[in-house]
């Protein structure tokens, strides 16, 4: 599994569904450069079980992300037709109607491959035949990208393990606190708490108070 932290987020141009039903081609994260942070997350597939709970949870906290100037973008290997249909389906019927942030279609699986979250890969036999080894879907990868397009945080969960949206917000707060104050964030730091100077004296002072 590749570690993308500290590196430029892989670029792409793909079809996405935005605003709950508008299909756009050529969607790219580059539109947010120097303007917004991005939480870019992958999920295995539309019309599954854990996935709608995650996508709806991100929507429920969308205003909290927007207050922090963070764009939330989802992605799976489904087609944009599948995304659109899922977005028109009521939650009580397994849908995600009401989700407004962009959902990218990675039908070619190249975006998942570039972010190294694809749960398998193509292999060639001695006869030259190609097959897919593994599961042709993405793990639950999540990438926090700063305004310069650099990945600052990533997590990758196996498919049965849903993510914590609150933890994602906490990481956004920690990154922005560091950028604004130049102090690092100790274990279990939350917004509103004091940071710590990245020195031996700073560590000693912090530990003496906890």
Record the pTM.
Answer: 0.94
Question: Is it the case that residue 161 has pLDDT exceeding 90?
Answer: yes
> Counting every residue, how long is the chain?
210
Which of 3.40.50.12280, 3.40.50.720, 3.40.50.80, 3.40.30.10 would CATH assign to domain 14-162? 3.40.30.10
As annotated, the active-site residues are 51
Tens of pLDDT, residues 137-147:
999 999 999 99
**Ranges of each domain in the chain:** 14-162, 164-210
- Structure-block tokens of residue 112: 């998942």
- Inter-axis angle of helices 50-60 and 165-181, to 10 degrees? 40
Question: Is it the case that residue 133 has pLDDT exceeding 80?
Answer: yes
């Amino acid at each position: 599994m590749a570690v993308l932290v500290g590196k430029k987020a892989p670029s792409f141009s793909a079809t996405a569904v935005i605003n709950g039903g508008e299909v756009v081609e050529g969607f790219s994260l580059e539109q947010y450069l120097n303007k917004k942070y991005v939480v870019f997350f992958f999920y295995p597939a539309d019309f599954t079980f854990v996935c709608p709970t995650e996508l709806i949870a991100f929507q429920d906290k969308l205003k909290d992300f927007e207050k922090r100037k963070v764009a939330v973008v989802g992605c799976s290997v489904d087609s944009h037709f599948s995304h659109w249909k899922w977005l028109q389906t009521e939650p009580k019927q397994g849908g995600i109607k009401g989700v407004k942030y962009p959902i990218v279609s990675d039908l070619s699986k190249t975006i998942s491959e570039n972010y190294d979250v694809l749960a398998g890969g193509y292999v060639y036999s001695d006869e030259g035949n190609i097959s897919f080894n593994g599961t042709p879907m993405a793990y639950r990868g999540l990438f926090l990208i700063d305004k310069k397009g650099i990945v600052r945080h990533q997590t990758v969960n196996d498919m049965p393990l849903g993510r914590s949206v609150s933890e994602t917000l906490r990481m956004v707060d920690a990154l922005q606190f560091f950028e604004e104050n130049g102090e690092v964030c100790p274990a279990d730091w939350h917004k509103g708490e004091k940071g710590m100077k990245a020195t031996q004296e700073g560590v000693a002072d912090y530990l003496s108070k906890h």
